[in-house]
Structure 1
């Protein structure tokens, strides 16, 4: 026996599997010595406590196979101590044998069992009887511990089986993916590669785990950049995304891939490994390059066409003017209508050509602004006057303070607001009120153009500022360049432009233009 212990001594560490702890509780030290002598042959660990509170403190420190508890104790008696033991989840089912000098009257026994007793021993008792009872409870405790260990082993075995099954399913899933996949240890050592990488490179699983084998499949021009970024991620533990070319063993071609590497962390946030994937984007890159080349060719063609159209348009305008001068004041009505039609057509074509040229300049970054002080209120009044007389049923209200001066390109801003007012009138076929509101804000000015027209579908609010974007198709004319050009001009001023609309007829739209007070020369 390891010997009985008092609370002042440190409780032993975890007992051996075949050794159980028994708590002896009695307020008389002579009784504790007697219990110790009776139970010593069992070879178990005996812990002594002389009061109920002392016994409760021991129970906070460790588990016991059995508690021998004297009923008659000063202060906290055995019944109260047992009730407190049963209230705690950890000790709720620890067996308690009450030791009492009372007779076995029925009321006393009921009281004891109600307090949580598993058995009752009346003093004086036969040592062998007590020893047999304690031995039975210890054996029961051992069996329970053995069952718990078996259950734990079964759970661990089931967990390992599930982990192996999960790993097998994971590998099958990863092998079926079109991406190339690597699993790496914390230091970057490859622990697993999927079938895609093995088939792409022709490597064996063993070769694919070696760093030098994997490195030689990265394009020589990309290798320094790729490896430098990977080493930085290893140092910092940060995710990594980059594009690079990989050599394909089947045909010797280098193909572009998008690589992503993510750190794996445990529940405490510690780095335990990496998962890296590579997705083939070669065809997508080629398609983008073809599209970009086609787009550049289209832009070049439109710019050249616009330049080529300028000369005949100017000649047409000059001939129309000469014809009107030759006809004099007594021009026939049908001739006058024809000349006015020519003027409208030429002006419309000139506007389209100008838009194409402006769009080309914006795309090339060649739009040069002429910075001057601009009275914004005066500029907006000129824009409104430009549309007089208004179409029937329309009216324009201008709300702009005097002396609202900003640094900007006056002609380009006039182009922006002329386009916004023109659109507002065009998309308000039923007429109504159009409002231009300008307000000074800290460091900037805010202009709103509000109409009560058709509105803009919510899904089109972003697209209307793209080249050739139209909210309502081609029904209302134009190339769909006006808002794209307006956005480019506003952004060149360091400002922002956007639209708001619920998309319902009659609710209209509001275009916002925010510009800094002092632009950059």
Structure 2
């Protein structure tokens, strides 16, 4: 059993067509191979009808060129067996023979499934032209099959996407209403008891635990709602209003200082105020997430630095910590949903891995950019670049980050 060179692709991404050459005389096979080589297809050589049948079990072919007179299974018998198999029933067979030109013999060949009957000596140009026709038909058929498969896969993907979208909308309704409503009752009751009732120490602790747990559930509900909104394609909505970004930074830093009284957040602002038009509540959410992460992943004895500065059409915010660097393999996926950095068991339990995903979505809703750099020598720095006004989206522009380092001064 002889084979030509291995199968490669040509004319786009379709594989080369395979042509089966069957003759018991090696010289005839070599002659056919030389004639058909210019077509650039894969030529598979077989020296008997039995070998040809085995090759047909191994793969698909565009056509078969077969000698009639061969020992064992001759060409006509081999053609009968090929036609008897469902998979090869319609495979084009061209007989090549030096036998008589009598009409009865030629007719017999067609009766056994031949699509053409060539007598030796074969004209090379005619043979190549005939084979090229079957190669083109085979490749068109293969292309149609691929297009049908791609169309079916695309339809399946669209249907799956539609089902996923419907499920996300249902989940958003459940999270947004069916959980929020009873949760608000639980939180209101706990806070009311803590504010107005004279409670025994055991009851005080119990209501405090209920309040903390309820607030944690509320945070999770908010994150899942934001995540679902962003996944549904509309992005996270922002409602811009005029405000002072530096003042917002001070407020968020003060709140975190109350929650973590032993930690230091150093505010370095290039000027006392930084006015613009942004959704301040959403930006507070972003700043709280970045600062909380910085405090969580840095040594207790180190300070976290919060810096701001400005350019003519943009403002910048950086949150820096001196903790261990983020692993390089994690950096490309850091803002993906449900991804977390290396954390302790307690930190992992307290995080869904959605904080940075939501933070980036909020910044991008302002037509801004959130990026990160991290190394052993410099620590980890998250940088926010925002347009001066959140309505910059209408101009389709995004401020580019300046390469020059800021020159902050203590506020």
TM-score tier, shorter chain, comes to 0.5 to 0.7
**What is the CA deviation profile of residues 152-211 of structure 1, one whole-angstrom value per residue up to 9, with x for unaligned ones?**
xxxxxxxxxxxxxxxx86x43328xxx73259xxxxxx944458774699665433444x
Contact 1:182 1:194 in 2 (8 A): yes
- Structure showing greater radius of gyration is 1
Contact 1:501 1:510 in 2 (8 A): yes
SS in 1 for 2:252: helix
> 1:367 deviation in Å?
2.7
CA shift in 2, pair 1:442/1:326, >3 Å:
closer
Are 2:310 and 1:440 aligned? yes
Aligned to 1:405: 275
> 1:289 deviation in Å?
6.3
Distance 1:469 1:297 in 2: 24
Are 2:369 and 1:496 aligned? yes
Distance 2:41 2:164 in 1: 40
CA shift in 2, pair 1:172/1:357, >3 Å:
same
Q: 322, 325, 338: which one pairs with 1:455?
A: 325
SS in 2 for 1:388: helix
CA shift in 2, pair 1:387/1:256, >3 Å:
same
Aligned to 1:173: 7
| Within-5 A mapping of 1:194-233 | 194=42, 198=61, 204=92, 205-210=131-136, 214-215=139-140, 218-219=143-144
> 1:345 deviation in Å?
0.7
TM-score by structure 1 length? 0.48
Aligned to 1:430: 300
Count of paired positions: 284
> 1:429 deviation in Å?
4.8
SS in 2 for 1:246: helix
Larger RCO, structure (CA 8 Å, separation 6 or more):
2
Are 2:200 and 1:359 aligned? no
Aligned to 1:255: 149
Aligned to 1:509: 380
**What is the CA deviation profile of residues 240-270 of structure 1, one whole-angstrom value per residue up to 9, with x for unaligned ones?**
xxxxx537xxxxxx3229xxxxxxxxxxxxx
CA shift in 2, pair 1:315/1:362, >3 Å:
same
Query: Please, which moves more after superposition, 467-476 or 356-365?
Result: 467-476
**What is the CA deviation profile of residues 270-310 of structure 1, one whole-angstrom value per residue up to 9, with x for unaligned ones?**
xxxxxxxxxxxx77x68966875685476446424422211
Aligned to 1:234: none
> 1:316 deviation in Å?
0.6
Aligned to 1:369: 238
Contact 2:324 2:379 in 1 (8 A): yes
Aligned to 1:478: 351
Distance 2:362 2:171 in 1: 20
CA shift in 2, pair 1:471/1:448, >3 Å:
same
Are 2:189 and 1:319 aligned? yes
SS in 2 for 1:181: coil
CA shift in 2, pair 1:172/1:214, >3 Å:
closer
Aligned to 1:6: none
Distance 2:341 2:188 in 1: 36
SS in 1 for 2:326: coil
CA shift in 2, pair 1:464/1:324, >3 Å:
same
Distance 2:330 2:159 in 1: 27
| Within-5 A mapping of 1:88-487 | 171-174=5-8, 180-182=14-16, 191-194=39-42, 198=61, 204=92, 205-210=131-136, 214-215=139-140, 218-219=143-144, 246=146, 254-256=148-150, 292=161, 296=165, 299-300=168-169, 302-307=171-176, 308-324=178-194, 327-328=197-198, 331-364=199-232, 365-389=234-258, 391=260, 393-400=262-269, 401-472=271-342, 475=345, 476=347, 477-487=350-360
Distance 2:324 2:171 in 1: 31
| Within-5 A mapping of 1:69-84 | none
Is there any run of 5+ residues in structure 1 with no aligned partner, and where? 1-167, 184-189, 220-244, 248-253, 258-281
**What is the CA deviation profile of residues 113-135 of structure 1, one whole-angstrom value per residue up to 9, with x for unaligned ones?**
xxxxxxxxxxxxxxxxxxxxxxx
Is there any run of 5+ residues in structure 2 with no aligned partner, and where? 18-37, 44-58, 63-86, 93-130, 395-411
Distance 1:437 1:325 in 2: 37
TM-score by structure 2 length? 0.60
